[in-house]
Structure 1
């Protein structure tokens, strides 16, 4: 769904440098409550760095991040801790984001124990465990798995556990960093359906990071295309996929696999400033060959 409400998240002239090298350069974006904004681009373009900046897991070199009107870059530790309840993240590899020595009950309840006084101490254990079981059921799993360990589950099941952990504090914004790229196609579809259902039921806002344009076309309300640390194009998903304005966006769309490439040849486009033959080299063809 596309929301017409005021922006929940606003990035203004955001810049991040590492050792004098610019990773994110002059990025301005808005994300409205209830929508899914997809952030797309090739590996190394700055997508993950940008999400870490908006979550304030990294400090920007310059620029501002506003969440629900509050400038996060000016908040102290205690103030930022309160905001973090409303901003959660689901990472690409669910196994690496879980402590393999913890039981599922402790993994799902970890944000509750950190942020909710009701879940702390001896008296809080029963509440945290009950809540963890409810969250697992909400993502299509069974609460009988609470005492098992991450290695006992498939990739799709682990990603559902990660999602359960992310929604435990009833956040308003969830950053999904390549949440389906490590999954089989059939499992991807079920996880995407789950995310859509949770968004509708819980009123979540998503920033969906991906390089898979087929997935983006399925889930996004709006799309922001990133190249070399900059946003080169934004628009509704329909606009970007049917009438891309930037040459780089058109190049990304040209690279999407088609069922029979011999019947759907696409032109190899060069971008401004690229050396001659660069587009051909990216497709594995030599310049001048068919």
Structure 2
């Protein structure tokens, strides 16, 4: 079976370990959710997988760690040159913005750069650019300036740019941020459609219900560590959610889809747990 394997990814700032020896393996060609509280390390992990940031060595008192590896279908991505890696991996970061005043079409055409000769005239492959615009519902906005679009529309432009890149691995950091309910559902439906073509999609999500409704697998981060990995229904249990987020969770079956549906509450008088780390004494790796 084709897989995405991540091993030994750490991020350190000063003496603070933001991400500790992250490792997981998931099937390729599906939609994977990265979930966890604020500060859990989701964005850091995505940037390391993409090669946008370089893995750090852990401090001596944090343990030796493992060699940093990101392997997709047997190919070690971190060993590829930047241009070669950009032909395989595309990333859409939070609130991505173009540095210059560009039209929507020009921004999407930037995704073709890794596939073009260094001496080629800028502009990308028109057919592939048009296809990416159509797939994201941006054809009618193609000639608009990016700066005139709403935050949600700009996010779609960046997704179109990533699709024009023709990646095998698509990474997204909070792709539903700033979107209304309908736009969130449309975005997640599009990600599922993209995965159905064989592209592996990994998205950091805050909303556990979106992850439960639209993703195949989930990777749970807390306190900078990977705490659980697996299929959505197996991982997003009341116990794990409580330990990770410090809330009471009831997981039921959605009456229409049959997927997990999560309701959250705080027990009156319950002790407050730190939201950015698992409950004290919890060993989520055994969940």
Say whether the fold is shared (TM-score over 0.5).
yes
Tell me how far apart the structure 2 counterparts of residues 239 and 266 of structure 1 sit (CA, whole Å): 23
Cα displacement (A) at 1:13: 2.7
Cα displacement (A) at 1:225: 1.1
1:15 aligned partner = 10
Tell me how far apart the structure 2 counterparts of residues 10 and 169 of structure 1 sit (CA, whole Å): 22
TM-score, scaled to structure 1? 0.77
TM-score, scaled to structure 2? 0.77
Cα displacement (A) at 1:243: 5.6
1:251 aligned partner = 246
1:190 aligned partner = 186
2:19 aligned partner = 24
1:89 to 88, 91, 94: 91
Tell me how far apart the structure 1 counterparts of residues 150 and 39 of structure 2 sit (CA, whole Å): 28
Q: CA RMSD in A?
A: 2.9
2:70 to 52, 59, 66: 66
1:161 aligned partner = 157
Give ranges in structure 2 of 5+ residues lacking alignment: 58-66, 252-262, 276-287
Tell me how far apart the structure 1 counterparts of residues 217 and 227 of structure 2 sit (CA, whole Å): 14
2:211 aligned partner = 216
Q: Deviations over 1:25-68 (max 9, x none)?
A: 12111132112221111111111011111111111124312223
Contact map agreement 1:86 1:173 (CA 8 A) in 2: yes
Contact map agreement 1:12 1:64 (CA 8 A) in 2: yes
Cα displacement (A) at 1:203: 1.8
Residue 37 of structure 2 corresponds to residue 42 of structure 1 = yes
Tell me how far apart the structure 1 counterparts of residues 30 and 248 of structure 2 sit (CA, whole Å): 23
1:180 aligned partner = 176
Cα displacement (A) at 1:254: 3.1
Structure with higher helix content = 1
Contact map agreement 1:104 1:145 (CA 8 A) in 2: yes
Cα displacement (A) at 1:103: 1.3
Tell me how far apart the structure 1 counterparts of residues 36 and 201 of structure 2 sit (CA, whole Å): 17
Distance 1:116 1:48, change over 3 A: same
Tell me how far apart the structure 1 counterparts of residues 178 and 248 of structure 2 sit (CA, whole Å): 21
Rg larger for: 1
Tell me how far apart the structure 1 counterparts of residues 220 and 44 of structure 2 sit (CA, whole Å): 14
1:134 aligned partner = 131
Distance 1:265 1:71, change over 3 A: closer
Matches within 5 A, 1:107-122: 107-117=107-117, 120-121=120-121
Distance 1:264 1:165, change over 3 A: closer
Cα displacement (A) at 1:118: 9.7
Number of positions where the alignment pairs a residue of Structure 1 with one of Structure 2: 254
**Structure 1 segments (4+ residues) deviating >6 Å:** none
Q: Which moved more, 1:38-47 or 1:190-199?
A: 190-199
Corresponding residue SS for 2:32? strand
Cα displacement (A) at 1:163: 1.5
Contact map agreement 1:213 1:253 (CA 8 A) in 2: no
Contact map agreement 2:114 2:165 (CA 8 A) in 1: no
